Amino acid sequence: MTTPCILMCPPDFYGIEYEINPWMSRSRGSAPDKAKSQWNHLHETLLGLGVHVELMEPRQGLPDLVFTANAGLVFEKRFFSSRFRHGVRARETPYFDDWFARHGFQVEHLPPDVYFEGAGDALFCGTTLFAGYRIRSDVGGHQYLGKILQRLVLPLELVDPRFYHLDTCFCPLAPGEAIYFPDAFDRYGCKVLQSHISRLLPVNQDEAVRFGCNAVVVGKHVIVNTGCDMLAADLRAWGYQPIAVELDEFLKAGGNAKCLTLRLDGEEAAVWDE
Ligand code: ARG
């Protein structure tokens, strides 16, 4: 097996400086020291699992740069750069593009008239690209990627503003296996998921709002926020080893374990070659 490879960005300048989702409150803010120690714990946990972690240089004035999942979509050595809906995050794009260009990726952009927020909204399970839309990404961007990559794209409408990115309510575990929070989708979306993924593990509301679905899968290990004990027990019953890492400081920005990482070599669940 090749070494799993993940991109992260240290939280030196992380904070709640604007409000672009229902979790963010400038008046409440976040605790910088606590955020640093929680992020370090996640970083060390990944290193302990044998992951090769690449670190991006943090930048003052870009508090959400820590959420590398939103940089873009990685497909083999191609990097499809995000087109962020909010101007405050669009400022991150030149830094992400520069990092990928310097690390041997071909940097590509989507058409100018579509929003697309990378691995936050586009996740492979098997050969199919599951794609969240409406709140951040546009369906047109996903369709464009499906054509270019010649893969089936299944657009899923996100109906609850708290679960504004697909990776907040859906997590592929392996081809044909995923975690999801059913209430974040409409009935049609739930049907699409149920008919295309043979084993779906539902997360309850209490653990969904702890961002239980925003998990990082490394082999049979699943890193998930603390306070998701039912999910952890269900994962164990499915043959996975859950690892709880408290990431509450990042929940305050509407993020968790998965958002803080971007897999550079393909995910456990992703099948890139057909
Ligand atoms: N504050 C960030 C935003 O609203 C959080 C991004 C979380 N990332 C994710 N992949 N869900 O854009």
Report the pLDDT value the prediction gives residue 1, as an integer from 0 to 100: 63
Which atom of ligand 1 approaches the CA of 20 most closely? 4
Q: Is residue 89 within 6 Å of ligand 1 at its C-beta?
A: yes
For 58, which DSSP code? P
CA distances from 190 to 8, 160, 195 (A): 31, 14, 9
Rounded-to-integer distance, Cα 229 and Cα 61, Å: 36
CB-based contacts of 255, cutoff 8 Å, min separation 6: 64, 66, 67, 211, 214, 247
State both tokens at 212: 């239980």
Cα–ligand 1 centroid distance for 71 (angstroms): 10
Cβ 83 vs Cβ 110: under 8 Å = yes
> CB–CB of 69/56 below 8 Å?
no
Count Cα neighbours of 112 within 13 Å in the Cβ-side half-sphere. 0
Nearest residue CA, atom 7 of ligand 1? Answer: 255
Output the pLDDT for position 274: 76
CA of 50 to the centre of ligand 1 (A): 26
Task: Choose the residue to mutate in 19, 26, 70, 91 for probing ligand 1, maximizing ligand atoms within 8 Å of C-beta.
Answer: 70
Could you confirm whether 259 is annotated as catalytic?
A: yes
Mean pLDDT by 10 residues, the chain (274 residues): 93 98 98 98 98 98 98 98 98 98 98 97 98 98 97 98 98 98 98 98 98 98 98 98 98 98 96 88
From the number of C-beta atoms within 10 Å of its C-beta (0-12, 13-18, 19+), residue 190 rates as middle
The two three-digit tokens of residue 273, written as one number: 């070659």
Q: Provide the strand spans (E) within 70-211.
A: 72-75, 78-81, 106-109, 122-125, 128-133, 153-157, 170-174, 177-180, 199-202
| Active-site option among 165, 169, 213, 228 | 165
Domain 5-263 CATH superfamily: L-arginine/glycine Amidinotransferase; Chain A (3.75.10.10)
The answer to whether 225 and 214 are in contact (CB under 8 A) is yes
- Taking phi over 0 as left and psi of -120 to 50 as alpha, with beta for the rest, 28 belongs to alpha
Tokens of 98: 């520069």
Q: What is the pLDDT of residue 2?
A: 85
To which residue do tokens 């399970």 refer?
Answer: 125
* Residue ranges with strand state E in 88-189: 106-109, 122-125, 128-133, 153-157, 170-174, 177-180
Among 214, 216, 192, which residue's Cα sits nearest to residue 203? 214
DSSP state of 67: -
63 lines ligand 1 (CB under 6 A): no
Tell me if 168 CB under 6 Å of ligand 1.
yes
Look up 213 and say whether it is catalytic.
Answer: no
CA of 259 to the centre of ligand 1 (A): 7
Ligand 1 within 6 A of CB of 259: yes
CA gap 188, 124 in Å, rounded: 19
Which H, E and C letters describe 207-247, residue by residue? HHCCCCCCCEEECCEEEECCCCHHHHHHHHHCCCEEEECCC
Q: Sheet of 78-81: strands edge to edge?
A: 72-75, 78-81, 106-109
Question: Token pair for residue 25?
Answer: 């409150």
Q: Is the CB of 67 under 6 A from ligand 1?
A: yes
Would you list the domain boundaries of the chain? 5-263
- Residue 85 CB–ligand 1 contact under 6 Å: no
